[in-house]
Amino acid sequence: MIDLNVENRKTLIYIAIAFAFSVAMRLIWVYQFHDFAPFHFHDQLMINTNDGYIWAEGARDLLSGTSSNPGAKEYFDKFHQFNDLSPVTSAASQLTAFFAKILPFSFESVILFLPVFLSSLVVIPIILIAKDLKNLEMGFVAALLASIAWSYYNRTMAGYYDTDMLNIVLPMFLLWSIIWAIDTNKNIYLIITAVDILIYRWWYPQSYSLEFSFFGLILLYTLIFDRKNIFNYKLLAIMMFAMMNTDGFIRLGAILVVFYIFPQKKFDKYIYYILGLSIAAFFITGGFSPIWAQLKGYVFRNSVSAADQGLGLHFFTVMQTVREAGKIPFETFANRISGHPVTFVVSLLGYIYLLYKKPIMLFSLPLVGLGFLAYVGGLRFTIYAVPILAFGIAFLITELSAKMPTTKLKYLSIIAFTLAILYPNYKHIEAYKVPTVFNANEVKVLDELKHIAGRNDYVVSWWDYGYPIRYYADVKTLADGGKHSGSVNFPVSFMLTHTQEEAAKMARLDVEYTEKTYDFIKMHKKEIADKNLTIFPNIEQMTKDYGFHNTNKFLATLKDTNISLPRKTRDVYFYLPFRMVNIYPTMTLFSNINLMNGHQGRQPFFYVSRSFKDMGTKIQLGQNIFLDKRTLNLTLGNKTMPIRRFVKTQYSKDMKLHKSVQLVNFTSDISVIYMANYNTMLIVDEKTYNSLYIQLMVLENYDKNLFEPVILTPDAKIYKLKV
């Protein structure tokens, strides 16, 4: 006979220890950089994920708005300008604002440490599931491993302020409630399961697929093994109502109604009709549409997308450049799930054995399946398999330990095996010294810009930097981590990689067309929702408005004709950080394309060298790449050629840029730029040399008729558009 009081105390102790362990491991990064000045701003470590700044922006605006509790119009006028895309209605921003309001810490501290504590909550459902399986030690070991396994740690560490801090916690609570519901048939788990789905959807709107997978598995289980159990149909019905693609309060009302009638036996004869109604409501409200959209986005993706209406323009898709959406090798896959390939294999075998011994764990298959989708959908998905595979190896550890002849040896073996599987993950944490998104000097530039630019002005930069730019400078951007489709990235890429003349015209066009599109959407919401109106990409609308049917011909007019630009309604700034040099080739992909047929152009030549060596008569820039110091001939492999020019840039003591340009051979297409203060050499072709980024950021050669410098520092430079 199990003493429930002892078991409950043991459960709470295991949860407390596992939670404290998870928190402590996440504080290692904070300890490593607590006194590293370049990572600090406003006397606190900055966060280390770009996406975190979108939720920080929303929380900041919510806190500003609630300070005086104004009405809607005053709120937008004072704290949240129209069309700024601030996510004030998002769960992450709202929860952050709540904690920032009630806790006696700075806002920067809240967003830094929130993932540490919220993500560590995952140990609770893990141990509660193990309690149902009558193996608390298994849950404790699994909680320790899952809480710090590579991919889970990487996406929930201190400073990784993003939705991932609850994206595994909530589905694990959902799995717990489903297991306990099926095992106990208690009505309380009906409402717990439904409310968990509501919270999960509120927190992470993309949760559709996983919720639907759980539903499908329960349905399959019911039809095969438990067809006559009326409780299972109640569970399925309340889940369907919770999963509808409609307002959360409507779904909450629906589940409260059915939860009220389900305990009453007189309604049991109607349960199949209620289930049918819930399924119909799910599909009528478009519940399956987001699931299909996710599958198309991550599994059935192409490098180039073509519109099926209008001019049928072709754009380079961003998914091909996002590392987390790319395929990964087995070793990386295994490490991210379990910390080591051996641990992964043993975990997988243990999981299979666990399924055999405890069939109720079959309901965890959707999480494992989503985690294994990493092979085709990208490394970000491995995080879902982490807690479930942790159960596998923890089960084997407890099974082997149970065979020990004494209780002392049993617990010593559990400790030894647990330390062995935790060690590779600890070493990863110790070595995982990721930087903050921006360094302090870059942020100082944006903070200064905040006092120069208006809140309705735009800052042009690559989408990677969109969220932090909006957060620190409180301005608008054309592209960011959530708004970076091929059609959005094309104009920005065009501006950064083409001449100043072309970039200036495109900047004014794209900014004004972006605002016009926002206004158009507001005025025609119903027609757009009913698909009676199509919103065309800015570049396509420009093409049509200027009387062209071929976008390539329209773009050609930006080179040398004085086209009439839209009326200026706001200022436009260019934010050009030095770090952008690392992604310049990637940026070119989006505009180096024939929009009419999708053919990629020849990639511009761009090579960065930071480990060059002076070898006497030659400088080695890379493997088989040499620059002759006397003749200034460049050797690339077996090919030797003259360079067009050699440029050296260097900052004086007062941080003014000085440059010397040595013309060598006008017939050559290749130039070498030595950036002395950065210990960097660039080898670029003529198109790249004349691009806005190289001319304005690297050389400070700006056309005074088109741009004026606003802030010039070695880390980042800001120019204001004059047209």
Put residue 124 in one of left, alpha, beta given phi > 0 → left and psi -120 to 50 → alpha: alpha
Same domain, 210 and 348: yes
Q: Is residue 99 domain-shared with residue 133, that is, in the same domain? A: no
Nearest residue to 422 via CA among 142, 85, 26: 142
DSSP one-letter code for 158: T
pLDDT digits (tens, 9 = 90+) for 209-227: 899 899 999 999 999 989 9
d(CA 662, CA 646): 5
Do 326 and 450 have their domain in common? no
Note the Cα 467 to chain centre separation in Å: 11
Please compute, for residue 363, the number of CA atoms within 13 A of its CA located in the half-sphere on the CB side.
23
560 domain-assigned: yes
Q: Angle at the Cα of 247 (from 243 to 249), degrees rounded to 5?
A: 95
| Mean pLDDT, residues 466-485 | 94
List pLDDT tens digits, range 343-380.
999 999 999 999 999 999 999 999 999 999 887 766 78
Averaged pLDDT for residues 584-593 = 95
The secondary structure of 104-155, three-state, reads CCCHHHHHHHHHHHHHHHHHHHHHHHHHHCCCHHHHHHHHHHHHHCHHHHHC
**Residue 79 DSSP symbol:** T
Beta bridge partners of 614: 619
3-state secondary structure 243-304: HCCCCHHHHHHHHHHHHHHCCCHHHHHHHHHHHHHHHHHHHHCCCCHHHHHHHHHHCCCCCE
Helix then strand then coil, in percent of the chain rounded to 5, is: 60, 10, 30
* pLDDT given for residue 288 in this prediction: 67
How many beta carbons lie within 10 A of that of residue 540, not counting itself?
20
Q: How confident is the model at residue 618 (pLDDT cuts 50, 70, 90)?
A: very high
Q: What is the pLDDT of residue 399?
A: 96
**In the prediction, which pLDDT does 208 show?**
85
Count of domains observed in the chain: 4
Q: 3-state SS string over 482-512?
A: CCCCHHHHHHHHHHHHCCHHHHHHHHHHHHH
CA-based radius of gyration for the chain = 29
Q: pLDDT at residue 611 above 70? A: yes
Q: What percent of the chain stands above pLDDT 70? A: 92
Same-domain check for residues 97 and 148: no
Ramachandran angles phi, psi of 663, nearest 5°: -75, 135
Residue 678 lies inside a defined structural domain of this protein: yes
Asked if 478 contacts 467 with a C-beta cutoff of 8 angstroms, the reply is no
User: Does residue 450 form part of some domain?
Assistant: yes
Within-domain flag for 593: no
pLDDT of amino acid 291:
64
At 557 the pLDDT is 93
B/e letters for 233-247, b = 16+ CB within 10 Å, e = fewer, are bbbbbbbbbbbbbbe
Q: Verify that 97 and 112 share a domain, yes or no.
A: no
* pLDDT score of 590: 95
Instruction: For residue 243, tell me if it sits in a domain.
Output: yes
pLDDT, mean of residues 72-96: 73
Q: State whether 26 and 63 are in the same domain.
A: no
pLDDT at res. 136: 97
Lowest-pLDDT range, 457-471, 526-540, 703-717? 526-540
What are 250-290's pLDDT values in tens digits? Answer: 999 999 999 999 999 988 889 999 999 999 998 888 776 66
Residue 493 in any domain: the answer is yes
* CATH value at residue 549: 3.40.1380.40
Mean pLDDT for 544-572 is: 93
From 385, 407, 431, give the residue that closes a domain: 431
Give the mean model confidence (pLDDT) for residues 466-477: 96
690 shares a domain with 572: no
Same domain, 328 and 341: yes
Residue 71's pLDDT band, with cuts at 50, 70 and 90, is very low
- Determine the pLDDT at residue 4: 66
Q: Hey, how many other C-beta atoms are within 10 angstroms of the C-beta on 225?
A: 10
pLDDT reported for residue 293: 61
Which pLDDT value is given to residue 319? 64
Q: Are residues 96 and 199 in the same domain?
A: no
Query: Residue 67: pLDDT band by 50, 70, 90 thresholds?
Result: very low
With H, G, I as helix, E, B as strand and everything else as coil, classify residue 450: helix
State the amino acid at position 644 in one-letter form. Answer: R
Taking alpha carbons only, the member of 319, 323, 270, 329 closest to residue 297 is 319
The confidence score (pLDDT) of residue 502 equals: 97
Digit-coded pLDDT (tens) for 412-440: 999 999 999 999 999 999 999 999 999 99
pLDDT tens digits along 228-241: 999 999 999 999 99
Mean pLDDT value across the chain: 91
Q: Is 574 helix (H, G, I), strand (E, B) or coil?
A: strand
pLDDT at 522: 84
pLDDT of residue 307: 53
Nearest to 93 by CA among 168, 45, 155, 161: 161
Q: Which domain holds residue 75?
A: 44-105
Bigger pLDDT: 93 vs 292? 93
Number of CB atoms found within 10 A of residue 516's CB = 14
pLDDT at 460: 98
Query: Rounded CA gap, 40 and 55, in Å?
Result: 19
- Grouping H, G, I as helix, E, B as strand and the rest as coil, residue 720 is strand
Q: Give me the pLDDT at residue 85, please.
A: 82
Mean pLDDT value across residues 10-38? 97
- Give the side-chain half-sphere CA count within 13 A for 472: 26
> Please, which residues bridge with residue 674 across strands?
648, 681
Q: What's the pLDDT score for residue 76?
A: 45
pLDDT-derived band at 304, boundaries 50, 70, 90: low
- Predicted local distance difference test score (pLDDT) of residue 73: 44
The lowest-confidence range among 513-527, 578-592, 669-683 is: 513-527
Kindly state the DSSP code that residue 563 receives in the 8-state scheme. Answer: P
In this structure, the answer to whether residues 82 and 211 fall within a common structural domain is no
Question: What pLDDT is stored for residue 527 in this prediction?
Answer: 75
Among 244, 264, 245, 266, which residue's Cα sits nearest to residue 255?
244
CA dihedral 56, 59, 65, 68 (to 10 degrees): -110
HSE at residue 651, side-chain half, CA atoms within 13 A, is 12
Residues 578, 662: one domain? Answer: no
If we measure between CA atoms, which residue out of 177, 282, 169 comes closest to residue 235?
A: 177
Q: Is residue 495 part of a domain?
A: yes
pTM of the model: 0.90
What is the number of residues in the chain? 723
Segment (H or E) for 257: helix 248-261
Closest CA to 689 of 681, 703, 699: 699
For residue 501, the Cα-to-chain-centroid distance in whole angstroms is: 34
The pLDDT, as a whole number, for residue 585 is: 95
Q: Is the residue at 629 inside a domain?
A: yes
Last residue of a domain, which of 86, 105, 124? Answer: 105
Could you tell me whether strands 645-651 and 670-675 are parallel, antiparallel, or unpaired per DSSP bridges?
A: parallel
Q: Tell me what pLDDT residue 69 has.
A: 41
* Shared domain check, 232 and 377: yes
Q: Which of 372, 399, 431 is the last residue of a domain?
A: 431
